[in-house]
């Protein structure tokens, strides 16, 4: 693990190599039995700490079944494309304390819509062996054609505008979820917000905890 402040060029390159090495292990097909319970996880930051908040919802009514959070020391600086190593360990910690494990976990970040095909949602899914979908607010790499994200001429996800006048979000499979299902599951989780409800609730919860710090 590379500590904050020790991000030499060699360290960054080693993390990139690790992503390239792990990317072939990502499974992009449906390996879940049901989607009755959907989770969302998002982060907030203060000082050098990460608040990782997870909310688990009933998919049909989007009622909260459980919510938890952890606060951990950030071990890495922010580097574009390496978010998985900065935020991933915190997400894993909060997931471990959930008593109600979601059938699918929505992660605020990219899945395979990533320059090395290994974003935050893919990292979390692989480390936990958990079906995950990445939902990001900005396009990290590639281009969109007819609402599909293409990187190196390969379809990696979808651009979606959830309501008139809202900025687009970017959806991609993280792990053990297909391209088609990633879009369908996320669409089914919308209420009146830009983000799917489990992620919106996790975002709100993380910031609520932050205000108490």
End-to-end CA distance of the chain: 27
Which of 30, 197, 32 is closest to 101 using CA atoms? Answer: 32
Tens place of pLDDT per residue across the chain (213 aa): 333 344 445 588 899 999 999 999 999 999 999 999 999 999 999 999 999 999 999 999 999 999 999 999 998 888 899 999 999 999 999 999 999 999 999 999 999 999 999 999 999 999 999 999 999 999 999 999 999 999 999 999 999 987 777 899 999 999 999 999 999 999 999 998 999 999 999 999 999 999 998
Residue 172 sits at the vertex; the CA angle it makes with 170 and 100, to the nearest 5 degrees, is 105
CB neighbours of residue 13 within 10 Å? 10
CB neighbours of residue 171 within 10 Å? 28
Residue ranges of domains in the chain: 9-211
Topology annotation, domain 9-211: archaeoglobus fulgidus dsm 4304 fold (3.30.2170)
> Do 131 and 31 touch, CB atoms closer than 8 A?
yes
Is the whole model's pTM more than 0.85, yes or no?
Answer: yes
């Amino acid at each position: 693990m590379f500590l904050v402040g020790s991000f030499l060029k060699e360290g960054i390159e080693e993390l990139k190599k690790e992503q390239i090495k792990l990317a072939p292990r990502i499974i992009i097909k449906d390996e879940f039995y049901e989607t009755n319970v959907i989770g969302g996880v998002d982060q907030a930051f203060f000082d050098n700490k990460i608040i990782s908040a997870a909310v688990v919802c009933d998919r049909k009514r989007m009622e909260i079944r459980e919510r938890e959070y952890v606060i951990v020391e950030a071990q890495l600086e922010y580097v574009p494309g390496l978010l998985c190593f900065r935020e991933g360990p915190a997400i894993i910690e909060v997931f471990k304390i959930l008593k109600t494990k979601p059938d699918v976990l929505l992660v605020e970040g990219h899945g395979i819509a990533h320059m090395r095909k290994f974003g935050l949602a893919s990292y979390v899914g692989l480390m936990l062996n958990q079906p995950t979908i990445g939902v990001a607010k900005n396009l990290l790499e590639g281009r969109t054609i007819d609402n599909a994200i293409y990187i190196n001429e390969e379809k990696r996800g979808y651009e979606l505008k959830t309501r008139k006048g809202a900025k687009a979000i970017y959806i991609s499979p993280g792990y053990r979820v297909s391209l088609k299902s990633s879009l369908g599951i996320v669409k089914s989780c919308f209420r009146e917000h830009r983000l799917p409800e489990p992620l919106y609730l996790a975002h709100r919860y993380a910031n609520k905890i932050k205000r108490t710090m």
